[in-house]
Amino acid sequence: MKILVAVKQVPDTATQVKISADPRAIDTTGITWIVSPYDEFAVEEALRIKEKRGQGEVVAVSLGPERVKEALRSCLAMGCDRAIHLNDPAWNDADTLVTSKALAAVVKQEAPQLLLCGRQAIDDDMGAVAAQLAELLGWPCASWIMEEAIDGDGKTVRTARQVEGGLEVFDLPLPAVLTAQKGLNEPRYPTLRGIMGAKKKEIRDVKAADLGWAPEPPQLSVVTLEALPPRPPGRILQGDVPTAVKELVRSLREEAKAI
């Protein structure tokens, strides 16, 4: 079974992000880049499917500038067989729809049986690309899955997706799109052998022209990035516990009107 995993490289959560001279973008100097955590769940699940079935191929794909190769390299170190890098300035302003269209073109070329993504990338938190890919490909989609099981002959996948108050279980005919929610699995660390072997694996550069891509403007664009408005300074309530608690309840009732 061939599985494609779409991943995004994002700043590490702990990294400080600052707005750059261009107020629509962040200053990328000094940023530590990682594979978006939900995408790691997707990679892990793909590897487990391959291991369980005893055969198959897991291909990691990502869109972004040259630095994205590092993210792809860590997917290869985890165990992906090869990688595809959509690497072209034509996609510099890509919104989720442009990204989805570019990825959909690659998916059509590769024709996998399964496309796995994280439930959202933790930079933009848009959570749209997987669903949009499903729409563009005409594939069924199960979002925020907590478990999956592919039947023996590889024709359908049973998934449990997290919804308010429970899980909804569906059978999806393959090919299909699944997005990984935390709890699906515990991603492995790349082993040293995996890391040493990653360089020998292929990362194929794909340019817009390779996909017959006609330049397309984004449908959503950033007007500006802004720092958070500062929260008004808080108050530490003094005194022993009963006194502080009484003051808290009074404040919540009378000042904040929160209760």
Partner 1 sequence: MKLDATEEQQMIQAMAREFAETAIRPVAAEIDREGRFPHETVKRMGELGLMGVAIPEPWGGSGADTVAYVLALEEIAKACGSHAAIMSVNNSLYCDPVYKFGTDAQRERFLRPAAAGHALGGFALSEPQAGSDARNQQTLAVRDGGHYVLNGRKQFVTNGREAAFVLVFCATDRAKAHRGITALVVEKGTTGFLVPKTEDKLGIRASDTAELVFEDCRVPTANRLGEEGMGFKIALATLDGGRVGIAAQAVGLAAGAFERSVAYARERKSFGVAIGQHQMVQWMLADMATAIDGARLLTLRAAGLKDKGRPYTTAAAMAKLFAAETAMKVTTDAVQVHGGYGFIKDYEVERYFRDAKITQIYEGTSQIQKLVIARAVLGGTE
Partner 2 sequence: MANAFWCIVEDDRRGAPKKVMAEVIGEAARVSSGQAEAVWLTDTATEAGLTQLAEWGATKVWLLENAALAPYRGEIWVGAAAELAAKERPKAIFAPVTSRAREFVARLAARLGVGLAADCVAFAMEGDRLVATRPVYAGKLLAKVTWAKTPWVATLRPNVFRPAEARPGRTATVERPTAATAAAQMRFVERREEVSTGLPELTEAEIVLSGGRGMKGPEHYVILEDMARVIGAAVGASRAAVDAGWRPHRFQIGQTGRTISPKLYMGFGVSGAIQHLAGMRTSKVIVAVNKDAEAPIFKIADYGIVADLFEVVPELTKEFKKLLEK
Distance between CA atoms of residues 87 and 62, nearest Å: 8
Distance between CA atoms of residues 2 and 134, nearest Å: 17
Site string for partner 1, 163-192 (x = CB under 8 A): --------------------------xxxx
Q: Which residue has the tokens 């009074």?
A: 250
Token duo for residue 218: 């984004």
140 binds, among partner 1, partner 2, none (CB under 5 to 8 A by kind): partner 2
Closer of 26 and 195 to partner 2 (Cβ): 26
55 binds, among partner 2, partner 1, none (CB under 5 to 8 A by kind): none
Is residue 199 within the footprint of partner 1 (CB under 8 A)? yes
Distance, CA of 238 to chain centre: 44
Is residue 173 within the footprint of partner 2 (CB under 8 A)? yes
Site for partner 2 in 108-167 (CB under 8 A): 122-128, 131-132, 134-136, 139-144, 158, 160-167
With CA atoms as reference, report the closest residue to 53 among 150, 147, 145.
150
Query: Left (φ > 0), alpha (ψ -120 to 50) or beta: where does 111 sit?
Result: left
List phi, psi (to 5°) of 61.
-135, 140
Closer of 153 and 189 to partner 1 (Cβ): 189
Is residue 73 within the footprint of partner 1 (CB under 8 A)? yes
Distance between CA atoms of residues 83 and 129, nearest Å: 18
Is residue 12 within the footprint of partner 1 (CB under 8 A)? no
Site for partner 2 in 230-259 (CB under 8 A): 231-232, 234-237, 241-242, 244-246, 248-249, 251-253, 256, 258-259
Cα R_g (the chain), whole angstroms: 22
Is residue 196 within the footprint of partner 1 (CB under 8 A)? yes
Tell me the number of residues near partner 1 by CB under 8 A: 13
Which 3 state secondary structure label does DSSP give 154?
coil
Site string for partner 2, 175-194 (x = CB under 8 A): -------xx-----------
